[in-house]
Amino acid sequence: MADNDPRSAQDLSQFAENLLQQLQENFQALTEKLTLRMEEMGERIDDLEKHVTDLMAQAGIENTNEDLMCQWFLVSITRHEQNTTNMRLTKVTSH
């Protein structure tokens, strides 16, 4: 049995090392995936900002500074949330 103990310890050590390597590889893959998605989201936000600027220009809003864009965006979100809430309330009260 004494001969098996060092081998068991060695096997356990190798198993732990392999497990840590797999975890590191999985973590690296996840990190790369998250980084890619964050970059994609950044591009979408940039596109959205450009579209909002274009829409504001089409609407005749000449002052397109960041504060005005934020205010417009917040008003739009608030209206959307109000509409969504009203729709939910309508569904609840109609049942």
Give the total residue count for the chain.
95
Q: Measure the CA dihedral 41/46/48/53, to 10°.
A: 170
- What is the chain's pLDDT, residue by residue, as a tens digit (95 residues)? 445 555 788 889 999 999 999 999 999 999 999 999 999 988 988 888 888 888 878 887 765 566 666 777 777 777 777 777 666 666 656 65
Burial 23-49 (b: 16+ CB within 10 A, else e): eeeeeeeeeeeeeeeeeeeeeeeeeee
Q: Which helix (H) or strand (E) holds 54?
A: helix 4-58
- The two tokens of residue 55 are 């829409």
